[in-house]
Amino acid sequence: MEPVLLSVGGAAGAVSRYLVGLALDNELFPWSTLAVNVLGSFVLGVVLFGVSNDDMLLLVGVGFCGAFTTFSSFGFQTVVLWEQGEQKKAAINALANLVVSLAAFGGAWLLIAG
């Protein structure tokens, strides 16, 4: 049953990530990557702090959030911005992904545990 949960969650996360990429303009800044990383961090926090069901953790935490969020795209886009001479945007992208994603995870913790 575990592979099925991971597969269903992963498929939903991958499709959702694709749709966010279509919905947000990434011409000037990688907004979709920032959005999925922040939202995915919040969802993962809600699941980790609010759900004790192992199946839900596999489905949503590992499957959905694992496919929805993206560290590799974040890293790649940051390097591309830097190489294009957009050092300020690269720094903002790096800080925003790290700080805002951590804040979203912390916000989930406060919401559930606080």
Whole-structure pTM value = 0.94
Q: Taking Cα atoms as reference points, which of 63, 81, 82, 80 lies closest to residue 17?
A: 63
DSSP symbol at 15 = H
Query: Hey, which bits of the chain come out as E strands?
Result: none
Residue 11 neighbours by CB under 8 Å, 6+ apart: 67
- Position 46 scores a pLDDT of 96
Over residues 42-92, the pLDDT tens digits come to: 999 999 999 889 999 999 999 999 999 999 999 999 999 999 999 999 999
pLDDT band at 16 (very low <50, low <70, confident <90, very high): very high
Over residues 97-114, the pLDDT tens digits come to: 999 999 999 999 999 987
- Which amino acid, residue 9? G
Q: How far apart are CA 12 and CA 83, in angstroms?
A: 33
- Which amino acid, residue 6? L
pLDDT at 36 over 90: yes
70: enclosing H helix or E strand? none
Do 87 and 78 touch, CB atoms closer than 8 A?
no
- Position 51 scores a pLDDT of 86
- Position 48 scores a pLDDT of 95
Average predicted confidence (pLDDT) for the chain: 96
pLDDT at 33 over 90: yes
